[in-house]
Amino acid sequence: MVLKNAIDLVKKTIVKTVELKPEAIDEALIKKAVESAGNE
């Protein structure tokens, strides 16, 4: 139960962090995706 609450809290924190700077996070993830897709 405690672990589930902790996971939910972490998820909410991550979502809130994304909301602060969505473009920057998008860009970092897109860079990663393009790199790994390009290496295939």
Partner 1 sequence: MRRLLKKQLKAQEMNKQSKLKLYAKALAEIVAKKGIDEKKVISNFVKLLVSSGYENKSKEILELAEDIILAKQGKRKITFETARKSTPSQNKLLEKFVKKGDIVKEKINPELIAGIKIIINDSKQFDASMQSKLQKISWQKK
Q: Which of 15, 11, 38, 13 is nearest to 30 (CA)?
A: 38
Distance CA 30, CA 10 (A): 22
The correct pick among 1, 2, 5, 22 for binding partner 1 (CB under 8 A) is: 22
37 binding partner 1? (CB under 8 A): yes
Q: Distance between alpha carbon 24 and the CA centroid of its chain, in Å?
A: 11
13 binding partner 1? (CB under 8 A): no
Q: Which residues bind partner 1 (CB under 8 A)?
A: 3-4, 7, 10-11, 14-15, 18, 22-23, 25-27, 29-34, 36-38, 40
